Amino acid sequence: MLKLILYRLALAVPQLLLLSFLVFTLTYMVPGSPAAAILGVAANPESIARLEQQLGLDRPFFERLIEYYAGLFRGDFGTSFVSGRPVLELFAERLPATVSLIAGGLLVSIVLGLALGIIGGTKPGSFRDRASTAFSSVSMSLPEFWIGIILLLIFAVQLGVFPVVSYVPFAVDPIGWMRGLILPSIALGIGGAALIARQTRTAMAVSMSSRYVDSLTAVGVPRQRVVLRYGLKNALVPVLASTGLTISIMLGASFSVEKVFAFPGIGALMLRSVTGKDFAVVQGGVLLIAIMVILVNLILDVSYGLLNPKSRPS
């Protein structure tokens, strides 16, 4: 297992280097000057040229690229053009909100997806199987921001059960933090639940039709134990693959959910940085998201080995 972890980490290094080069190149090729976006209505050729010189934007491409990589190897992701603060400091402030949202959405996806998949997979072709499949199809087609708006209008505006401005830091008010995560987590997690439900339903149907299930039933093992301990355990390997894909999708979908629920997460920071051409923040955000995806995939690879010893490297 240690060999697998070291191999995945070693493979992640060239991936991150290539990604950082692509992001730096693309931001360099974006038309317009970040200095003009920062100055706004006060921009004129002289002031733009002066600010570009101060920010180092007038230097050649390769000189800026070498400086960028030198900073990355030192753990320095650069400084925001707009605020003048270190990029890592900006993301450190907003990362807890985004991680809370994704964790809540993932919890909803796993619980709801497994439940729907087990309901349908244990009796393929039944009414409950068709009902769970129909629910999965409908929920997969609904955009997360639309679900968030509907939930917000009903439960926050009309009924007043949940707050309109959702996020409260955990250190300030743990109960408020938990209440504020309910609606955004549901909005973010329903689409992922549909994906997990489909994979679980298929895997459970195959698992429950196996001979060992018939043998366990014949010797009198309770049905609930057969389903949860044996059937579900063997069905979890393909479900883990869909869970990894769900997390990757959530990282992108969380941007729109954060906008709907006024979450102070990295999504709002990234959107503002893209429109304001604060490229240092954009580059740092893309790398941060890539690192999160790599870590998630590493955890899933380790989980494969724990569930299925045959998948462990020799």
DSSP 8-state class, residue 164:
S
Report pLDDT digits (tens) over 126-157. 888 888 888 888 888 888 889 999 999 999 88
Report pLDDT digits (tens) over 188-233. 999 888 888 888 888 888 887 778 777 887 888 888 888 877 777 7
Mean pLDDT across 255-262: 88
Mean pLDDT across 20-38: 81
Residues in the chain, total: 314
Q: What residue has token string 């080069």?
A: 21
Does the pLDDT at position 285 exceed 60? Answer: yes
- Nearest 5°: phi and psi at 169? -55, 145
In angstroms, the CA 143 to CA 191 distance is: 8
Under 8 Å CB-to-CB from 198, ≥6 apart: which residues?
117, 133, 136, 242
Alpha helices of 122-173 — where are they, by DSSP H? 127-141, 144-151
Please state the pTM of the whole predicted model: 0.82
In angstroms, the CA 81 to CA 39 distance is: 11
Angle (deg, nearest 10), helices 127-141 and 174-208: 130
In angstroms, the CA 272 to CA 175 distance is: 30
For residue 314, the model assigns a pLDDT of: 54
Number of Cβ within 10 Å of residue 133's Cβ equals 19
CA atoms within 13 A on the CB side of 126: 13
What are the domain boundaries of the chain?
A: 94-266
Q: What residue has token string 């997979």?
A: 121
* 34 contacts 81 by C-beta, under 8 angstroms: yes
How deeply is 164 buried, as exposed, middle or buried, from its count of CB atoms within 10 A (0-12, 13-18, 19+)?
Answer: middle
Q: Which residue has the higher pLDDT, 248 or 97?
A: 97
In angstroms, the CA 298 to CA 242 distance is: 14
In angstroms, the CA 51 to CA 29 distance is: 19
Fold of 94-266: MetI-like fold (1.10.3720)
For residue 191, the model assigns a pLDDT of: 86
- Nearest 5°: phi and psi at 189? -90, -20
Given pLDDT bands bounded at 50, 70 and 90, which one contains residue 306?
Answer: low
Under 8 Å CB-to-CB from 302, ≥6 apart: which residues?
1, 4, 5
- Nearest 5°: phi and psi at 79? -125, 140
